[in-house]
Amino acid sequence: MPGYHLRGIKLKSMENIYEALTLLAIGMIMVFLILTLVVGVGNLVIGITNRYIRETPPPVKGGDRGKSIQPRKLAVITAVVDVITRGSGRVDSVQKQ
């Protein structure tokens, strides 16, 4: 009977190892699925936000309201941008540094 007792211990330990590996695999699969779900929902929220909510331009500083660029200088800058970009560029704003 001592051989049976040792075999029972060995079988019991193998069952524990199989159970541990099964739980490990299930846990890893669950973590992968949840992280995939988080990334997917995050990308969906970003896509919806970018599609329906437009970025507002920053407010103009109070000291710059009275200063404006001369129309002739603006025309020259616009013409230079048009020539350099071959008609594909445009001037959005001009700021003095």
The residue ranges of every structural domain in the chain are: 2-55, 63-97
Q: Quick check: 67 pLDDT over 80?
A: no
Whether the predicted pLDDT of 3 surpasses 80: no
**pLDDT value of position 8:** 60
Mean pLDDT of 57-72: 66
The CA-based angle 42-44-48, given to 5 degrees, is: 120
Q: Is the pLDDT of residue 1 over 50?
A: no
pTM exceeding 0.75: no
Chain-centre distance for alpha carbon 54: 17
The residue-averaged pLDDT of 36-54 equals: 93
The structure tokens listed for 50 are: 């970018």
CA-based end-to-end distance of the chain = 94
Give 18-26 contacts, CB < 8 A, sequence gap 24+: none
